[in-house]
Structure 1
């Protein structure tokens, strides 16, 4: 045991991991990202996952998001990601979230270190590369986006395995690559996963250009990626079905082109704080004028790593692999990131490349450029500490700094920018930048002259990047208990017969098993939820059509930031709420505090009802008008195109005498339609009196309906089975068994070689 501990402490990977652990130590004592997507999306969804895991199941469907939602298909839940089964089954949701964040950052640093070493970068250089990539600008603005730092941790690990297989051709390299890529896919979102697959294949093609005999191994990389996709088929199939159902497989060009990186912001490499503290915050009008927001545009790797990267690029051919590959890849990814702002037609051509039109926010490609710069920094430190050519790089880096300073001042002091980007904020940023560059240059020069060891540069890098990381767009603070620390939410949790909750809460009610009326998810929720999205604002919810829609779709409570006047509303709590002030989204210019109200809606339509009359609308506007103002529960509305072959309802009396969420008993004296306020979605079917299962129908813009013929008392049983579940499960199971078998075979061969 002592020998193992000694080996760990002596490992060259220990310093960057130790520094990363120190920077993130707050996560272990209860400090976490507060507000934003962590509180309004990720932790609520994980709370629903945790409830399902505690019951020994996966949440293929949840009743706690709007009118119902296929939660497994919402890949942000990462329901098939094995670490989540442990973390969210045995820990509280806040503790599991923080520990998961801590461990994935350590994995990111360790994987980047291993990949840098595979590229023959020295131990300390690899440590600088790993630490600077782990806490670069991309990581700082996306520290509130769980899926990014989870998925990104596997990117350098996949590249490491690809390089290992290309160099040695061992079968276990392919098996491990397939398993690791499957793990990355099961994290969800899939944008970083698409980069990973592309970079793995490009690595193989790049190596093939210098060594044609590797053609078989390049095809092996492709096979491993396909194999990994097969292992993750159960997640991919469900998510692809949801994406197609809500139209995310055919996004508009305007949606794809937004969130690019403003070309003028390249000076952020030189001055990371230059565009922080802009009046109005990360969503100020300045950001939108640049085609992005401060939550999506950030590009720096730290002052010391940047200077070292320039040194690494100027130090000649040097030793090690991947140098030219990463120069080309970094440049290409930077061009893609700025292209929507720089040349819109050029970006239009880019999105015609297969796969490039599936994901928005091209500015995120800067993660790849950042990795390339960090690897170059590692090579630069090798050169600086090993007697290589350092001074040309130092001179060139200061020339870069001079040009960047001139450009930054020119941009910030433009007449249309001076009031936003200038003033004391600009002076402070330039002062901090100048100090950072002077200190960084002194430390690098001292390293070159052997006055200090390269470990000092590593520590200084951690200090700067840590300061930048915690002062970025993510709000950090002590964990907030929901609903306990919110007077409004605590009162809501005490209410009985809570249906759906309208208002500004996004997914916060999920934390205590209540149901937000409009799901805040990565995918657009299916209809009729887009109607309910408009009613998150108090002004819209207070209109006659807004009140009608809320009642029709089962909204029993609302949480609002001001008075709501309506005879059909009862106010049950009024007062300040510091927790909601902090967690709820506020548009730029909104007051920081509100007098919050919890209200109860009266005369809400039931979850299930028997309709005796049908009305048909020629188009969606007419249908919306009908369901907004006609609140007769005995009437069901259809779009004309949804007219079925079944006869129209004609009963004079019909009522639901029992309902348990999956089974309804209906008494009726003639044909009627059973309407369930639940999202119409593929996989839902119903049987009447244990008859054959038939797909449910679609009514009222997206809820379920079943026609009951004749008269009498009938029992209707509903069931949900994802349409992709069984074929995808067989594919995943077969691919996983094959992978486990491959690992077993490789292990036996390894043992046999050792014995011989």
Structure 2
């Protein structure tokens, strides 16, 4: 080697080649992004062609109303900390499923509500595709194989159907990127990579899915354990850093959610609730064949009957209508498993995959019940089907490794053997059903002996068709593999087409006019005079659109039901027009409020007026008992079979009452039916240390006057004039984080009437102020910001040192 003073010719600079590599990588990713966006536009072509928006299930019931609420608040100059439109109110940041800290919220400031919602959903698919691509490329999978793996994951039946529940879609789309960034940090630690990995892990939680966040953490641990033995120690240390930074960056969501654990009641409150939406064993052939137990083109009663009688799931519907993956990706995964069959890493990951599969089956196996009983943190989770995208991601990753083996020749024969097996097996299944009803009569009819013959024929023909389609797909893949020049293209095209054929028709759209056109019941409410214009009207609904059979020209049955849910004020659709829904639909709702509304009959016939519920919607069959209880009919819709009633004796949102001290809300529950309580003369207050001075024993009406000066989400101001000592009752949910002052002097906020707030006031004139501040979320934002800025500073300093060197 020459000394620095050597006169030998200098080596040519590597800068041009470095620039060329950067340019090539940039060009590659631009092409990939264009392809991912193009495939998404092609797959979801109905969205731009119809101008409609995603509308199924929680899209209308949760996300659109809450995102409208967030948008209006931010445009008015405040970041919402209190969410008023559900269950008497709840902390906004603690309502995890509405993704309060996710950056996708910026879309709702730039676009109209329906356009932003569509963009939010559609962007998840190229993100998922590119994440799968980037992850598998770390294992030197050829580009076409990595693209197929990402495409199979992005357009899997689960992701397509979970467009009805945005938070789980965003989380599933982010997981591959979080694993990609974590693996890069495990291989070559650095502050920049650490920041990126932690940020992407935090984004999984910010998407609104705590279970996906925890499972992804577990997968990062597995990644650390799966590396070379010589690098085990460094990978474990890097893993601790990644998980630690991810936790710190996710602090706003973690802090606010943990703070609710003593007050809210989310997750699997019982084992039965936790196991709702289990993956039924009858669906285990769906990844290969596609959905054969749902009929999107038929009347939905058929699918509903199948779920109830044959494959019970939560709320008489599947969590997702399809868990299809596709023939090509499964053949490649099988080839990958064959190629790596002696790998200890494969056996490790395979064991975890089987564990996740067992858990996803829920009540079909004792495994989920054992986890619920013996692992207390697991009780936070519910709905076993939410593990399905992790199963799909594992199959797609193995398929990418299989592609590598097949096109290098090591697993080519295994692929062809599997293709032949699938062709023959699917043909045998189709023939056995066509001529022997092996599937319907052998498996389904014994579970439902009274199955209508027309439904059995429908199930039979559906099963035969999906078997024949899968057989044709396997034959196409096998035949393509015999033509090396076309094999990659055949696999890619077959994968996309099979995904589209199986699941494209399973996402639901509806005209965005539903967001700007108040339904008749809402128009009736808004047209009626109110005592206090500043205070939103609180409503309730006991209508179930599952029984809706009326038709509207131009709408399919599923669209009709979505429209019906808006027309009948099902939670939380009233929030679209500034109304509040009394029911607790969101997971951050108070357990006290849940206790009040849980029992339907006492809630609607006795308790609702006590908590300022002015109107409620019911099926027409409930009108007679409602009329007998003194409810007044204010609207009816014959096409829906629904009536809207007005509740007599509705208490105002804010009023003065005498305090009657109780020990706990459990003690107060049976006392809510007391006439003195229902009339508002007495409030059941958990007095605590203030007891001796609060309960005077007086039961006559307090009288006095309460004037609402301000009634905003996080700030309430009242002018109160009371003839004697009393409590000011505010019929909104009691939660930690609210503070009160009377004439500028701090005052306690006590739980009253089980679930709402009371502030003691002395006789005379006073100004009472209530303010809500989500301190856990604010502290969490500080921790997250300090972590981000600290790591960013390390990245900048390291870059400067590298340039100076």
- Indicate whether the TM-score tops 0.5: yes
Q: Is 368-377 or 621-630 further displaced after alignment?
A: 621-630
Q: Cα distance, 1:225 vs. partner?
A: 1.9
CA distance in 2, matches of 1:489, 1:682: 32
Which residue in 1 is equivalent to 2:560? none
Q: Is 175-184 or 449-458 further displaced after alignment?
A: 449-458
Q: Does 1:233 align with 2:254?
A: no
Aligned partners of 1:182 and 1:228 also within 8 Å: yes
Which residue in 2 is equivalent to 1:211? 229
Which residue in 1 is equivalent to 2:465? 431
Aligned partners of 2:539 and 2:615 also within 8 Å: yes
Which residue in 2 is equivalent to 1:445? 479
Which residue in 1 is equivalent to 2:696? 649
Which residue in 2 is equivalent to 1:611? 657
Which residue in 1 is equivalent to 2:211? 191
CA distance in 1, matches of 2:444, 2:731: 56
SS at match of 1:240: helix
Which residue in 2 is equivalent to 1:175? 195
Aligned partners of 1:608 and 1:656 also within 8 Å: no
Which residue in 2 is equivalent to 1:476? 509
Aligned partners of 1:21 and 1:106 also within 8 Å: no
From the superposition, tell whether residues 417 and 309 of structure 1 become closer, same or farther in structure 2 (CA, over 3 Å): farther
SS at match of 2:395: helix
Counterparts of 1:20-419 in structure 2, within 5 Å, are: 20-28=40-48, 30-84=51-105, 86-207=106-227, 210-248=228-266, 251-277=269-295, 278-280=302-304, 283-288=307-312, 293-295=317-319, 298-315=322-339, 326-338=349-361, 340-344=363-367, 347-349=369-371, 352-353=374-375, 355-396=377-418, 398-399=420-421, 405=429, 408=439, 412-417=443-448, 419=451
From the superposition, tell whether residues 457 and 14 of structure 1 become closer, same or farther in structure 2 (CA, over 3 Å): farther
CA distance in 2, matches of 1:432, 1:392: 24
CA distance in 2, matches of 1:749, 1:326: 40
SS at match of 1:394: helix
CA distance in 2, matches of 1:10, 1:483: 38
Which residue in 1 is equivalent to 2:742? 688
CA distance in 1, matches of 2:728, 2:181: 55
1:172-224 deviation per Cα after TM superposition (whole angstroms, max 9, x unaligned): 211111122222222223111111111011100121xx324331332222222
Q: Cα distance, 1:23 vs. partner?
A: 1.1
From the superposition, tell whether residues 469 and 530 of structure 1 become closer, same or farther in structure 2 (CA, over 3 Å): farther
List runs of 5+ in structure 2 lacking aligned partners: 1-22, 296-301, 433-437, 531-535, 544-569
SS at match of 2:136: helix
CA distance in 2, matches of 1:6, 1:221: 29
Q: Is 427-436 or 677-686 further displaced after alignment?
A: 427-436
Q: Cα distance, 1:90 vs. partner?
A: 2.4
List runs of 5+ in structure 1 lacking aligned partners: 577-592
CA distance in 2, matches of 1:602, 1:349: 48
How large is the RMSD of aligned CA atoms in angstroms? Answer: 3.4
CA distance in 2, matches of 1:138, 1:463: 16
Q: Cα distance, 1:531 vs. partner?
A: 2.4
Q: Is 331-340 or 225-234 further displaced after alignment?
A: 331-340
CA distance in 1, matches of 2:671, 2:72: 38
Q: Is 657-666 or 223-232 further displaced after alignment?
A: 657-666
Q: Is 25-34 or 509-518 further displaced after alignment?
A: 25-34
Q: Is 101-110 or 378-387 further displaced after alignment?
A: 378-387
Aligned partners of 1:49 and 1:59 also within 8 Å: yes
Which residue in 1 is equivalent to 2:636? 574
Aligned partners of 1:184 and 1:193 also within 8 Å: yes
CA distance in 1, matches of 2:589, 2:659: 32
From the superposition, tell whether residues 745 and 176 of structure 1 become closer, same or farther in structure 2 (CA, over 3 Å): farther
Aligned residues: 720
CA distance in 2, matches of 1:502, 1:487: 15
Q: Is 356-365 or 593-602 further displaced after alignment?
A: 593-602
Q: Does 1:745 align with 2:763?
A: no
CA distance in 1, matches of 2:734, 2:636: 36
Task: State TM-score, norm by structure 1.
Answer: 0.86
CA distance in 2, matches of 1:525, 1:350: 23
Task: State TM-score, norm by structure 2.
Answer: 0.81
CA distance in 2, matches of 1:282, 1:70: 38
